[in-house]
Structure 1
Amino acid sequence: MTFASLTPDQIQSLHDEQLAAYRTLQDAGLKLDLTRGKPSPEQLDLSLELLSMPGDEYKDAKGTDTRNYGGLNGLPELRAIFSEIMQVPVDQVVAGDNASLAMMHDTLVFSLLRGTPDSPRPWAEEDEVTFICPVPGYDRHFALTQQYGVKMVPVELHDDGPDMVAVRELAAEPSVKGMWLVPTYGNPSGAVVSEAVAAELAALETAAPDFRIFWDNAYAVHHLTDERTKTADIVGLCAASGHPNRAIVYASTSKITFAGSGVCFLGSSEENVEWYLTNLGKRTIGPDKINQLRHARYLGDVEGVHKLMEAHRAIIAPKFEAVLEILRDRLGSHDIATWSEPKGGYFVSLDVADGTASRVVELCREAGIAMTPAGASFPYGDDPRDRNIRIAPTFPSIDELRTAIDGLATCVLLAAAEQHLTS
């Protein structure tokens, strides 16, 4: 029965029932963590072979000694693998160290301090710099732009991409210099930017000549079903629309091999890549080429990546199924929550009754279930409806996950009942 159909006495009865379940939950002494999208130890074990590589075969395909300095743009054989995944010509791909977030940071800081190839002046010399932020979105994107004083304006993220009416309106403002976007299996909603929306973004009329799309393709190969969802070729679309420098694509092996010891990638136009490397060359002499070499040999080719990701899927897909099963069973009949059913990526996005997400997260915390803070998927941590909660199912064991999600459902029902009884 939905909450709307319940009498006050029935809601009180439901409240009392959930409160009793909640107190049992508290007494269990749980210490469960669903805060971050981390690979589980079983997933990390899939790539243990990397620890014994490259051995004494430390030269790359061209005979370069990877132990030495140099090679600012990374090993060609590894760039060739991810060039295909990123849909960017290999000469326009840079392979770096372990975190694509570091590449995003550098791109933003270089733009602020020196401007892009299309900038009339460094961004920091503008009166204001604004980024479009589709929501719900990735909290670390928002933390990065907030760190450097970039104004963030949220727009709704639909199943096929950002609200383009809102994007077009914002892009008409000269201060709007860019936007964040996770195009495939968005964090946390699982949304996939359609070819049509990507083409519209590529052709978008912008007041700023140096408008940039930070296209964070973190989950390009992270499928949860047999379908290999294809990401739109944003670099090619931008070039065809007369805006070759607009898109900068980021990717990494962070949730493919070792989360803390992978390789990151940047791909864009020739001019943007030259600009990036020129600035990067003042910060470093080159990346960890030994790590790149072992990744190139371990992965082999694109199909090697897909084969490894099938092994990841076998571990995590049942966890996502468990989350969805419990949410349907516990919350489906009450009409107080909705949730995404992603075909890939690392998260489930849960929308609870308006005004209760913060209370749900608080109840979870007091019961020993750590969740990402309510509002984290919005700029400045401000969810105006206080309803969105990000669920990260991958790290716990499936038994721990079931306990946590069942506890989360109890907290959702209890918070909703509290709200109805006090309104």
Structure 2
Amino acid sequence: MTLNELAPEALADLAAKVRAEYEELQARNLKLDLTRGKPASEQLDINNELLALPGENFRAKDGTDCRNYGNLKGIADIREIWAELLGLPVELVYAGDSSSLNIMFDLVSWSYIWGNNDSERPWKDEEKVKWVCPVPGYDRHFTITETLGFEMINVPMLEDGPDMDAVRELVKDPQVKGMWTVPVFGNPTGITFSERVARELAEMETAAPDFRIVWDNAYAVHVLGNKFPEVINVLELAEQAGNPNRFWFMSSTSKITFAGAGVAFFASSAENLAWYTAKAGVRGIGPNKLNQLAHAQYFGSAEGVRAIMRKHAASIAPKFQSVLEILENRLGEHGVATWTRPEGGYFISLDVVDGTAARVVELAREAGIALTEAGSSFPLHEDPDNRNIRLAPTLPPVEEVEVAMDGVATCVLLAAVEKLGV
């Protein structure tokens, strides 16, 4: 029975049991952390071979000496692998330095300072800049547009992507200049956009000619099993729809090899890439080609990347399974929470009783379990329903994940009975 269906006596008994469990939890003096989606040490160890590359073999296959300056596009050796992996033309895939987040910040901030290649004026000269934010979403995306002072507009995330009726209505406003997306195994929901949603995003009419969608495919190959999802070629869809410049397509190796020491990728139309390199060529004289070469040698091919991702899946899939089993066993019958069941990515999105997420996080913290702050997956950290919590089970050992999640379940139940005034 759900809490709302229990007789008063049974509800009081359950509340007493949960409070006793919470006191026991506090007495354990735990120090556990489920706050950020970082790879575990054993995942990082998968790639230790990379540390010895490229060694003395420092020339790209076209003869480029990777120790020297130049080549804003990045070397073909790694671009070809990533283009095949993403199903994109290699000429539209550029390789940069370690972080796709850096490139995203550049794209949005440069549009703010100078306007992009379709802008009538710099975005800073607009009366207001608005940005579409599917929620729950990636907090670091929202921080970029928050920092630039954009008005961020929430759009609900449905089972196959954002609510497209809401998106189409919003983009009728010429002040709406862009949209954040994580289209495959999204952060934090694990949702993958359907081809229908991708096509509608490519085809929809927008009042702003310089409207851009950041298509952040950070988790395109981050499966929890052996089946890799099809990566939709939104660049082709946009070209066919007459909106060739709509998408800024991002990817990186950050959670494949080493965080902060990988390769980032930016794919877009030829016109967008020309605009980008004109600015990037002022900022720098080319990326770290030795690192790009090392990664190309290490991966060898697109299938080489997939082979490494299967090793990652073997490491983290048991942790996700444990989280889901504990949530179901502890909370399933009580009607106090719902959660996503992702097939890939780094997160599970947990929705608790409306108005209790912040209390759940507080209770967990007081019991020695660190969770991402309630509301973190919403612009300005403001979840209007105070219900969403992002769970990040990848970093701790599975034994710690199990202890932490059992504690989280206790906190969810305690916050729920408190809300009922029991």
1:222 corresponds to which residue? 222
CA distance in 2, matches of 1:103, 1:180: 14
- Once the two structures are superposed, the pairs formed by residues 308-347 of structure 1 within 5 Å of their partners are 308-347=308-347
- Once the two structures are superposed, the pairs formed by residues 82-121 of structure 1 within 5 Å of their partners are 82-121=82-121
2:286 corresponds to which residue? 286
2:175 corresponds to which residue? 175
Indicate if the aligned counterparts of 1:193 and 1:232 stay in contact, CA closer than 8 A: no
CA distance in 1, matches of 2:226, 2:297: 26
Quote how far apart the aligned CAs of 1:100 are. Answer: 0.6
SS in structure 2 at match of 1:68: coil
CA distance in 2, matches of 1:30, 1:68: 50
Quote how far apart the aligned CAs of 1:13 are. Answer: 2.0
Quote how far apart the aligned CAs of 1:89 are. Answer: 1.5
Quote how far apart the aligned CAs of 1:43 are. Answer: 0.2
Instruction: Mark the runs of 5 or more structure 2 residues left unpaired by the alignment.
Output: none
Partner AA of 2:342 in structure 1: P
2:405 corresponds to which residue? 405
CA distance in 1, matches of 2:186, 2:58: 37
Quote how far apart the aligned CAs of 1:314 are. Answer: 0.5
1:244 corresponds to which residue? 244
Task: Tell me the C-alpha RMSD between the 2 structures.
Answer: 0.9
Indicate if the aligned counterparts of 1:375 and 1:383 stay in contact, CA closer than 8 A: yes
Indicate if the aligned counterparts of 1:183 and 1:231 stay in contact, CA closer than 8 A: no
Quote how far apart the aligned CAs of 1:7 are. Answer: 2.6
CA distance in 1, matches of 2:236, 2:172: 23
Quote how far apart the aligned CAs of 1:93 are. Answer: 1.3
Between 1:15-24 and 1:411-420, the stretch displaced more is: 15-24
1:198 corresponds to which residue? 198
CA distance in 1, matches of 2:173, 2:372: 33
Kindly provide the CA deviation profile for residues 159-195 of structure 1, in whole angstroms up to 9, marking residues without a partner as x: 1111011001100001000100000001111111111
TM-score (structure 2 length as normaliser): 0.99
2:31 corresponds to which residue? 31
Indicate if the aligned counterparts of 2:225 and 2:310 stay in contact, CA closer than 8 A: no
CA distance in 2, matches of 1:230, 1:373: 33
CA distance in 2, matches of 1:343, 1:266: 25
SS in structure 2 at match of 1:421: coil
Is the counterpart of residue 131 in structure 1 residue 142 in structure 2?
no
2:46 corresponds to which residue? 46
CA distance in 1, matches of 2:226, 2:287: 35
CA distance in 1, matches of 2:285, 2:24: 57
Between 1:90-99 and 1:295-304, the stretch displaced more is: 90-99
Partner AA of 2:143 in structure 1: A
CA distance in 2, matches of 1:413, 1:257: 38
- Once the two structures are superposed, the pairs formed by residues 273-422 of structure 1 within 5 Å of their partners are 273-421=273-421
Quote how far apart the aligned CAs of 1:231 are. Answer: 2.4
Give aligned pairs, total. 422
Partner AA of 1:264 in structure 2: A
Instruction: Mark the runs of 5 or more structure 1 residues left unpaired by the alignment.
Output: none
Partner AA of 2:401 in structure 1: L
Kindly provide the CA deviation profile for residues 337-385 of structure 1, in whole angstroms up to 9, marking residues without a partner as x: 0000001111000000000000000001111111111011111111111
Indicate if the aligned counterparts of 2:338 and 2:351 stay in contact, CA closer than 8 A: yes
CA distance in 2, matches of 1:84, 1:55: 26
Between 1:88-97 and 1:236-245, the stretch displaced more is: 88-97
Quote how far apart the aligned CAs of 1:85 are. Answer: 2.5
Kindly provide the CA deviation profile for residues 11-65 of structure 1, in whole angstroms up to 9, marking residues without a partner as x: 2222221111111111111111111100000000000001111111111111111
Quote how far apart the aligned CAs of 1:90 are. Answer: 1.1
- Once the two structures are superposed, the pairs formed by residues 61-72 of structure 1 within 5 Å of their partners are 61-72=61-72
CA distance in 2, matches of 1:260, 1:103: 13
